[in-house]
Structure 1
């Protein structure tokens, strides 16, 4: 789901960034004495780059007294790892073997029995988008998913239980949302800055997850039964709050945004009543999108364009803010075990930003705690050649930086189900305005395709010819059908395949069928199927009750079917749609538990059960094992990127590791997957740089 394209209008602000001087990550002691003093959690109090003073054949960093799970083909375990000054693994073995490679300049860390796994690799998210939302001064939180891991009311980290900007206080009704936007408008008025105000910005709104409030069509109405911004009347609703201050609201999926008239004028979208010279034209379904924009609803590419323009206003006013927020986001990712993050649809400006903060990281000290993979994208043109050009230019810009890669290109085949832009073979379970409007949408309404099968196939040719695999966003069963047929035709009829060692990615694919998976498993080279397991938890109930119905949701996101066919399965969060937390994503994949919010009651647990597995009415069990989940973020994720030197702990591999308080593969955890929520990330090792997690001793915020 889209959260990308934030930065097209802010190239100057992004490219001019400088590396932060971070106080949270310091260089290691040259005599090794400080790093030998392990704290109670079993991690060193210092962090930094591998020592540049190490002699040839001498380790720069040694971790020992650990439970090392290598994730290699032999399922080997060890006690320690020795890492060379170039950030590569020298030895995986016993304590004696790895300590034998140390001298007085070696950083040594006693893990006191903690578990070491290969660092978690992010198969798909949007870390820069996540960074920009994590800005309580400029973005109002109107979500009910704890994407930012805010402390809960009643805990020590939450100073004011009513402070939804710094504590997790979920919105429960449309009235909660409206109240928060009104408060943001009032704050501007009180400051006296309405002469040239920044827009009121609100993030991660989702009408489908709201409970009963005013304006509901049924006595027990929920979500889309009630008055929301997703009813074709967003513009007058937001105008009623303010007409002189721009208001801009993004959805949780990022596929839809909502505006008042003042904001619509600023965005200057073509074929609307407020458009003027030099207007911005939609690139996908232009007639439909222009008609919706007139109503204050911006779909798909218009939402991406608008978010970039609005965020650009903030960053242009505060030129150093982007670097601060990106550093904060990277730190949160690392604190949850990631050693490589993805920018899931990166413009050339995004790539420039990452290149700036990562270009001087080796072998010197580096405040940025992980490496990054870019998925090139350009939302300004319907011509795929612009996306190819972004990828090529990005690779030239990045050069040989080992911490940054332009991994693939991005294409969208449709939108999101709860936003009613997923392209289906048959109508939605329930359809609400504006999608019932026959003057705008063909009836019966089945969603909107972004690309045809032929267009997807043409894009695959172009991507492969330019030396890139393609990551293909696909949600609805009709869109998935187009994508699968295009991939099969590209490989089998026209022999267009990605470059050796790389793989096309079928992204999201919640409604992919076993027959389609059987087709994909015949391909050589194979494809990756990347499943958004967390959507089962957060959106299983709304999609079952209102959007798609139980028949199409009970076995949605079929991770086990992917695994059973020998296809490479990865899991992803699509952050900032859901939290960037691999252990949580694995837990959902293992349990297939759905959230039962107090404000959004389950009307019939027989029809829409808490656990989406083994329902007699809808046979199937898509639960996977914890080991499958770990592979999804290690060996399989490395295979997705074609990174043969990551994903497992072996001699000469990149020294990326996550250090956990206990082993997620321990038999006690396998027997009771709920124990995953007690496991803490104590530290990570990124390209040989040891980075402790200062929040490791705090109670974890398991997503709510």
Structure 2
């Protein structure tokens, strides 16, 4: 087999024993050697490739918390506050008023067949003020003014809430009165169209005959997701809330089996969709379908919601602006029992914990599980943990828990947290990366795409610079260095997925997964980190986007 030797301006290996190099030898799908030209293999079977000689090579980025919904939602209308590029590269302007939201809805509705439901996403009410200066409550009234002749569903940016119009309320039977938690009512006690968390939203999905979260099982969605990831340097990506239906499993196996698929896919099964016994059996059976570009085995548990959506569970003093505390996606005792069941089965849990009360509950559950069934290398990972406090950090270190923090949150919602939801004091520990690192906690950072755009270098920029959209710096003492942030989007994220033996660094025997960059992240101004271009990626020695 031919051995290909690539040269580069610089190779940042993320291998502590050999942090940088100028050449890398690839034999088939794996790294054979890393070093300078003199240490490379020589012989008739060696081909020297200079096409990246002026580029910087890194391990392919590992996105440890994102969703294949990033590939699905561009089938629907974007209503976000921030401008955003879709999967085809078209830029959608951000919408700064409810009137602009209504105008885009009307324009799009006019292109649809009569009666066809309109699904939109990305709206974030926390960026809009009501008459009293508080967060706007988008209701069916505003949606009815825009679209009243068909069902209308607007998913919020957090994906933990939606607002629907009166036609959709009537079709789903919600107008008859609340039947599940999360249906918000007006002063007259009537549903106002706002639905929070999974139980309430699933009532709408049932009426539509379509669960949007199950769209991730579509082959075209998975292909689009892979293409979006590769374009920003990602070679290993998660789908961190997969329904794991039979159809979804077959689609993932089929799509990732193609040698042209540009990423390794790591789905995590949403455990709340199954009883503990069914979920464990299903996940263990799926592991037999694993191959080099598909890795089953992770379980995802949803505890609370989002801070900006007021559905996260916070400890005292709760929300800074006096809002009621958030919602649990299942009763705390049920969540605790699920942790123990999956832990006992030897499976790895990735646990959504936005609020510090949710963190506390899950640390208690993991502590109990480890007492009953000790496991030295469980790698249970708390996801988001945006305002985890220092006592909880020390406890996480003691329990061997990994943390994957939502660094992008600082930019997109830092100003909102400062002014409304958390207040100035708690914002100083928002995403406390430096403190967690000092305690030796295994760390990753993520985008939670499609909640925020997929782009690990932007996520690293957030962790380093800690700037909000307005330019305010939050928590300067929790900033990390560029090299530390780069580790969190490569080897650190790979560790939280249990894949650091194969991806996350460029080392002999690992997969030849690379991100080829136009500039050197360690040589530029840290404020420019988010502007480093991705020239191409390589997965197992196969180049994507190389031209």
Q: Normalization by structure 2: what TM-score?
A: 0.90
CA contact (8 A) 1:82 1:101 kept: no
Mark the CA change 1:131 to 1:288 in structure 2 (over 3 Å): closer, same or farther.
closer
Mark the CA change 1:182 to 1:566 in structure 2 (over 3 Å): closer, same or farther.
same
Q: How many correspondences in the alignment?
A: 538
Alignment of 1:244-643 (within 5 A): 244-267=149-172, 272-273=175-176, 286-289=180-183, 294-302=191-199, 305=202, 322-349=218-245, 350-361=248-259, 366=260, 368-380=261-273, 383-396=275-288, 399-425=289-315, 426-431=317-322, 445-451=324-330, 454-491=333-370, 493-497=371-375, 502-523=378-399, 526-596=400-470, 610-614=472-476, 621-643=477-499
Match in the other structure for 1:647: 504
Distance in 1 between residues matched to 2:283 and 2:465, nearest whole Å: 38
CA contact (8 A) 1:246 1:260 kept: yes
Question: Is the aligned partner of 1:141 residue 2:78?
Answer: yes
Distance in 2 between residues matched to 1:307 and 1:587, nearest whole Å: 38
**2:16 pairs with one of 52, 67, 73:** 73
Distance in 2 between residues matched to 1:102 and 1:588, nearest whole Å: 46
**1:204 pairs with one of 93, 103, 122:** 122
Can you list the C-alpha shifts for 1:531-568, whole angstroms capped at 9, x where unaligned?
10110111011121122222222321111111110101
Mark the CA change 1:489 to 1:647 in structure 2 (over 3 Å): closer, same or farther.
same
> How far off its partner does 1:302 sit?
3.6
Distance in 1 between residues matched to 2:545 and 2:481, nearest whole Å: 29
Distance in 2 between residues matched to 1:288 and 1:307, nearest whole Å: 12
List runs of 5+ in structure 1 lacking aligned partners: 1-53, 152-156, 158-165, 276-280, 433-444, 597-608, 615-620, 695-704
Distance in 1 between residues matched to 2:337 and 2:534, nearest whole Å: 43
Distance in 2 between residues matched to 1:475 and 1:589, nearest whole Å: 17
> How far off its partner does 1:311 sit?
8.7
Mark the CA change 1:268 to 1:344 in structure 2 (over 3 Å): closer, same or farther.
farther
Question: Is the aligned partner of 1:687 residue 2:540?
Answer: yes
Distance in 2 between residues matched to 1:267 and 1:370, nearest whole Å: 38
Q: CA RMSD in A?
A: 2.9
CA contact (8 A) 2:58 2:516 kept: yes
Can you list the C-alpha shifts for 1:138-195, whole angstroms capped at 9, x where unaligned?
x2211023453689xxxxx7xxxxxxxx42311001111112112222333xxxx21x
Q: Name the larger-Rg structure.
A: 1
Can you list the C-alpha shifts for 1:417-466, whole angstroms capped at 9, x where unaligned?
1211111223322256xxxxxxxxxxxx2222334554333222211233
Match in the other structure for 1:676: 529
CA contact (8 A) 1:68 1:78 kept: yes
Distance in 2 between residues matched to 1:686 and 1:569, nearest whole Å: 24
Distance in 1 between residues matched to 2:475 and 2:305, nearest whole Å: 26
> How far off its partner does 1:486 sit?
1.7
Distance in 2 between residues matched to 1:660 and 1:351, nearest whole Å: 33
Match in the other structure for 1:217: 131
List runs of 5+ in structure 2 lacking aligned partners: none
Distance in 2 between residues matched to 1:80 and 1:310, nearest whole Å: 57
Distance in 2 between residues matched to 1:506 and 1:262, nearest whole Å: 39
Match in the other structure for 2:92: 168
Distance in 2 between residues matched to 1:395 and 1:352, nearest whole Å: 13
Mark the CA change 1:149 to 1:320 in structure 2 (over 3 Å): closer, same or farther.
closer
Distance in 2 between residues matched to 1:490 and 1:103, nearest whole Å: 53
Distance in 2 between residues matched to 1:341 and 1:173, nearest whole Å: 34
Mark the CA change 1:208 to 1:471 in structure 2 (over 3 Å): closer, same or farther.
same
Mark the CA change 1:65 to 1:629 in structure 2 (over 3 Å): closer, same or farther.
closer
CA contact (8 A) 1:81 1:98 kept: yes
Mark the CA change 1:170 to 1:320 in structure 2 (over 3 Å): closer, same or farther.
closer
Can you list the C-alpha shifts for 1:280-314, whole angstroms capped at 9, x where unaligned?
x7xxxx34448699332222114663686699759
Distance in 2 between residues matched to 1:622 and 1:640, nearest whole Å: 21
Distance in 1 between residues matched to 2:78 and 2:258, nearest whole Å: 35
Greater alpha carbon shift after TM alignment, 641-650 vs 452-461: 452-461
Distance in 2 between residues matched to 1:124 and 1:236, nearest whole Å: 35
Q: Secondary structure at the match of 1:74?
A: coil
Distance in 2 between residues matched to 1:447 and 1:274, nearest whole Å: 21
Mark the CA change 1:571 to 1:314 in structure 2 (over 3 Å): closer, same or farther.
closer
Match in the other structure for 1:130: 70
Q: Secondary structure at the match of 1:187?
A: coil
Q: Secondary structure at the match of 1:406?
A: coil
CA contact (8 A) 1:68 1:79 kept: yes
Match in the other structure for 1:5: none
CA contact (8 A) 2:385 2:405 kept: yes
